[in-house]
Structure 1
């Protein structure tokens, strides 16, 4: 799978579902206390680090970006889908959102205090993850915190429909935390904690806390 192909498919798929996706995700954090707790802990780490800009990479409609902002974090969002960014700007006009790809982040070196990728790595193929994590390390300041969320599993499947029945063409990759942890360490991050979520549910998830090594 070449980079241009999966990136184009992901962009067009989320352009198609942007409005319905935002409608379904609006208020979703209210029913997920463990994710809210993770974000609150992450916000506390950012405040301890002295504050500063925080990138929500793969922000979608911006609901997590806005939640972090409500916790006193100077968060801004980046997403591959222009339509998703339009929705984020519509729903959160006081926040900063921009179109961009985690495979080639248009951010200066060491320009953000922290970075968040909440279930936005699930469409990135395995062979592209090391480069993505390399960009994460490049843009985060030394010692800065990183928070990742992703599906747990050993499979990849093609998603052809979603969020109101709209057509999509994206691969959804489920990964084991040990593999994601290894990629992070290879990229120059120290992994601090791992939370496992919904282990008895249909699709369990994991949250990893890490920080960039100096």
Structure 2
């Protein structure tokens, strides 16, 4: 299938945006204090699932500056982080030198098949247009072991949001938008990739503008 320009992820644009804001992003989000207790509960459920059903090897796909990698590590997971932005990976390596981080694309993960017992997509799909989601979930499933678990977090809804303004307060002029998806839309993609939904949580917007959704799925 050939994608039109509007359907493709603007890889260069997203990479450029996060390379630009990486240092301020790492300073503003050093840990999981930005997550609500319900959000962290889903992370805890994911960590419990992967540590009880295997060796706890987890891929934090779209790891950013590594704060969620640290959170999962503290819960017994063996985490490998990967991110499109080399500057975000540099921040992750600086702030979490004991953990492993790699530069790479979610559409071409630099790992062999069946490498991980868990894959985390924590707000990692939000810059991908609808037509690009299938590739990301296919890659996540490829590196996931049979009966492994995947957790995806995202803003719930429909349409797109221009998030460039969020970075202007730090003096950055970037072009960046995010896509909103309904939980049922993401569940359909998970099913198409061969994953079975285990559970979901939809948290109504608090200080955010949109609801937040989390789906936990299992392979096999």
Q: When the two structures are superposed, what TM-score results if normalisation uses the length of structure 1?
A: 0.94
Measured in 2, the distance between the counterparts of 1:144 and 1:211 equals 6
Choose the corresponding residue for 2:152, options 144, 148, 151: 148
Greater shift, 167-176 or 31-40, is seen at 31-40
- Provide the residue aligned with 1:133 in structure 2: 137
Tell me whether 1:203 sits opposite 2:203 in the alignment.
no
Question: Do 1:114 and 1:146's aligned partners in 2 also have CA atoms closer than 8 Å?
Answer: yes
Offset at residue 23 of structure 1 (A):
1.2
RMSD across aligned positions (CA): 1.7
- Provide the residue aligned with 2:70 in structure 1: 66
Greater shift, 38-47 or 75-84, is seen at 38-47
- Provide the residue aligned with 1:182 in structure 2: 188
Tell me whether 1:33 sits opposite 2:37 in the alignment.
yes
Measured in 1, the distance between the counterparts of 2:183 and 2:15 equals 26
Measured in 1, the distance between the counterparts of 2:219 and 2:62 equals 19
- Number of paired residues? 213
Choose the corresponding residue for 1:16, options 20, 24, 43: 20
- Provide the residue aligned with 1:166 in structure 2: 172
Measured in 1, the distance between the counterparts of 2:118 and 2:138 equals 14
Ranges in structure 1 where 5+ consecutive residues have no aligned partner: none
Greater shift, 119-128 or 49-58, is seen at 49-58
Greater shift, 195-204 or 185-194, is seen at 195-204
- Provide the residue aligned with 1:117 in structure 2: 121
Offset at residue 197 of structure 1 (A):
1.3
CA change 1:93–1:5 in 2 (3 A) is same
Q: Deviations over 1:152-191 (max 9, x none)?
A: 1111133334332312222200110010000110110001
Question: Do 2:8 and 2:129's aligned partners in 1 also have CA atoms closer than 8 Å?
Answer: no
Question: Do 2:8 and 2:132's aligned partners in 1 also have CA atoms closer than 8 Å?
Answer: no
Question: Do 2:203 and 2:213's aligned partners in 1 also have CA atoms closer than 8 Å?
Answer: yes
Tell me whether 1:7 sits opposite 2:11 in the alignment.
yes
Measured in 2, the distance between the counterparts of 1:12 and 1:103 equals 17
Choose the corresponding residue for 1:88, options 82, 89, 92: 92
Measured in 2, the distance between the counterparts of 1:77 and 1:154 equals 29
Q: Deviations over 1:38-68 (max 9, x none)?
A: 1111111011112242100000000000000
